[in-house]
A and B are shown apart, each in its own frame.
Chain A
């Protein structure tokens, strides 16, 4: 069965430091992968997505993610974190069968220290 795991429930980084949020997926074929960000009390905003092609994907707000098939991972990175990046981050994989459904990870809460 398809699944998404975000091993880190909570991460704290200092402002200006680099960031990596982990995401592992279980999927039989080439997955459609997504990262979303959610600020408190808000909906989800799409940061980036991977469908095919270049395995390093650039997104909005200076984020990037790298698809590594051998590791079944799609980790999100940012070289220098800003205080406004504090939020909840969700990794998701598109479900099989062209239903358009997404399977979400449990989410990672990012806290940014001044």
Chain B
């Protein structure tokens, strides 16, 4: 149980285009999902908290207009990187909250912006 999937697993796009990443909880409902960014050999940086049916809460320094988050259902949250630039290239990981504190993570999405 508690399986989280992400799609796509990797994506290459041109600078200036937008990319959408999906995060799904496969066998449970998640009212809260989280989006992280991870740089090479670094820890995870929380970008935002995604709550079903409401606006996402962004961490300080994260541009909400650049990283659009939609949590339209209890099993799906999406992260759209708008007008992507090479500096947005990174490993993006989502997680879903189960119970009060435990998070289960997706396998991650590798984004490369050319």
Task: List residues of chain A with CB under 8 Å of any chain B CB.
Answer: 32, 34, 36, 41-46, 49, 51, 90, 94, 98-102, 104-107, 109
28 chain-A/chain-B pairs, Cβ below 8 angstroms: A34-B102, A41-B108, A42-B107, A43-B105, A43-B107, A43-B108, A44-B44, A44-B95, A44-B105, A45-B105, A46-B103, A46-B104, A51-B101, A90-B43, A90-B44, A98-B100, A100-B49, A100-B97, A100-B100, A100-B101, A100-B103, A101-B49, A102-B34, A105-B43, A106-B42, A107-B42, A107-B43, A109-B41
Question: What is the size, in residues, of chain B's interface with A at 8 Å between Cβ atoms?
Answer: 24
CB distance from B51 to the nearest CB of A (A): 10
- CB-nearest residue of chain A relative to B51? A100
Q: How many residue pairs bridge A and B at CB < 8 Å? A: 53
Q: Is the Cβ of A99 less than 8 Å from the Cβ of B106?
A: no
Find chain B residues with CB under 8 A from A106 CB.
42-43
Provide the bound-state CA to CA distance between A42 and B93, in Å.
9
Provide the bound-state CA to CA distance between A108 and B104, in Å.
20
Apart from A42-B108, A100-B103: 20 A-B pairs, beta carbons within 8 A: A41-B91, A41-B110, A42-B107, A43-B6, A43-B105, A43-B107, A44-B93, A46-B103, A46-B104, A49-B101, A49-B102, A51-B101, A90-B43, A90-B44, A100-B34, A100-B100, A101-B46, A101-B49, A106-B43, A107-B43
- CB-nearest residue of chain A relative to B109? A43
Find chain B residues with CB under 8 A from A101 CB.
34, 46, 49
